[in-house]
Amino acid sequence: MSGCAPIGTSPEEFDTRQVLAARHCEGPSPDGCVFVNSPVKLEQQKVNIPSRIAPFYPTAERLEFIDLNRRRWIAPQRTLTDGASIPWIFVPIVGSPTSQEFVNAAAVHDAYCGIGNEFLDEYHSAPWQDVHRMFYDALRVGGTPEHRAKVMFAAVYLGGPRWNNPGRNLDFVPDAYLRQALLDTMAFIDAKNPTLPELIDFIEGLEKKLIETWTPPNEDDDTGPRRTVDKDVPDPETPDTGGEGGGSQQGNEGDDGFSEGSYGKDQFPSEPVVVVTDS
């Protein structure tokens, strides 16, 4: 098992993550999987960040999430959140969901990797894989249906921030190819209803291909040829949907009624649906 560790991960870290990946939240549990001081409470003050469309709000009080391993994840007071956490390049595919079932998870996730929160002690204090994995658990505990939570997790895992792991950097991959990878993942979720470890394995398989194709020459100590990095490359051709994991530009509607491929920003509230305080 340890011989198959993903790029940039030691065999020991990989073995530990494989064990933890088998334990995840599918809703509140007596053993963990619970929010403390929920729902998230936001101050009325809007914070506009030039690179982002949606406004951000500071949290008015501390919010905690306890996962199934009894690990505490903390969004301290004044954490900035936009209530969504979906990478902007995937908004045309999955929309920008900002409703009560998402915002608790988004606030805690933002404390660890969200723009504007670089001053927090929590920021980048855990491996990015663990932070994104926590996002899935928190979504499920918050009431997000399993199918939708897996799609949102996949979007964050593929397009969200990655730190202290240069060998797995996807910033150089053209947006069109990242979007296609998400579409392929959504088709895999629809066809196989994978467990979370199976979903992570599938995503990391796509990731490996993207890295092999788009890593700039010599950055991985490999002098072999690489494709020229160009953010304006044409969209990839849609794969044959008849095979396993084949992508579809239209998406499919899951049993929770979430039609990923057809969602647009106008189908969601533009601001988080949360308790706003005067403090």
Flag whether pLDDT at 241 surpasses 60.
Answer: no
pLDDT at 215: 73
CA pair distance 240, 228, nearest whole angstrom = 25
Q: What's the average model confidence in pLDDT over 89-97?
A: 77
Q: What percent of the chain has pLDDT over 70?
A: 66
Flag whether pLDDT at 207 surpasses 70.
Answer: yes
pLDDT at 98: 65
Q: What's the average model confidence in pLDDT over 127-134?
A: 96
Chain segment 221-240, per-residue pLDDT in tens: 444 433 434 444 455 554 44
CA pair distance 233, 174, nearest whole angstrom = 7
Q: What's the average model confidence in pLDDT over 104-108?
A: 95
Q: Any idea where the domains of the chain sit in the sequence?
A: 26-252+262-277
Q: Which of the residue ranges 30-39, 107-116, 194-203, 238-247 would you say has the lowest mean pLDDT?
A: 238-247
**Confidence bin at 82 (pLDDT 50/70/90):** confident
Chain segment 7-50, per-residue pLDDT in tens: 444 555 444 444 444 567 877 766 689 999 999 999 999 999 88
